Structures are given as C-alpha cells and as structure tokens.
Amino acid sequence: MKIEVAAMAGTLESSDVQITIEPAEQGLSLSISSSVLGQYGRQIKRVVLDTLEGLGVRHGRVTVVDKGALDCTIRARVTCAVYRSAGITHSIPWGEVPVNDPSR
C-alpha cells in the first residue's frame, strides 16, 4: 500500500500509542518515543515494522509515541493510520489484515 497523505491514529493517553505516518520518497524511517523504550523498544519496533510489511508499506516516515500500549493496540493503530493515509475509509478488512507475526 502507498502512503498518499499524512495520517494519524491513536492517542497519547496511558496504554495507548499515537502513530503518525507521512509520505516519504525512499524507504521507511521510524522514530519511536516511549516511557518503556529500554524494556520494550525493540519489541515495539518489530511490531510496527511487521504490521507495515503485512500491509505492503515500503516507503514512509513513521512516528510512534508510545504510552505503554500492548502489541495488539500498536498493530491496530498502525493499520488504522495506514488505511487513513491511503484514503481507505470503508470496507476495511478488520481482522483479516495479514500480519507477519512469527509467534502465531
């Protein structure tokens, strides 16, 4: 999927995550800030990148402001932001989005 416009999903409230995704020319850039970066930074990065890969997003600037979200929340917020940025607002295949998750 191609990132057409800047879009956002999620909030800055506790246990949530705010995902911003913007168009970029070449490749993915990821910026993460989190109160639990030391403990879960790598896990957050992996979940975000896996979700993007599952959605076929190869170019974009992604900003993650994490407030201690669970993986499922991160996945949902990233998916939502990507669909918004691609201008898709209905008939979203919730639950069927291919997620590259080796633990399942």
Partner 1 sequence: MTYSLSRIFPSDRRGQAELDRLLTGEHIRRDPNLDYTVGLYDSNHKLVATGSTFGNSLRCLAVDSRYQGEGLMAQVVSHLVSRQMTQGHSHLFIYTKSDKTAIFGDLGFYEIARVEGEVAFMENRRTGFADFLSGLSAQRRAGQCAALVMNCNPFTLGHRHLVEQAAAQNDWVHLFVVSEDASLFPFADRFALVKAGCAHMPNVILHETGSYMISSAVFPSYFLEDDESAIAVQARLDLQLFGSIARSLGVTRRYVGDEPFSKVTGLYNRIMADELPAAGIDCIVIPRKEQDGLAISASHVRQLIKEGPIEAIRPLVPPTTYDYFFTEAGQAVVDKIRTANNVIHY
Whichever of 1 and 8 has its CB closer to partner 1, that residue is 8
Closest CB 13 distance from partner 1, rounded Å: 5
Give the binding site for partner 1 (CB under 8 A). 6-8, 11-14, 18, 20, 22, 31, 33, 35, 63, 65, 67
Position of tokens 């993007």? 52
Residue 96: Cβ within 10 Å count: 7
Closest CB 102 distance from partner 1, rounded Å: 29
Whichever of 25 and 96 has its CB closer to partner 1, that residue is 25
Whichever of 31 and 100 has its CB closer to partner 1, that residue is 31
* DSSP-H helix ranges across the chain: 37-54, 71-85
Number of continuous H segments (helices) and E segments (strands) in the chain: 2, 4
Amino acid sitting at position 104: R
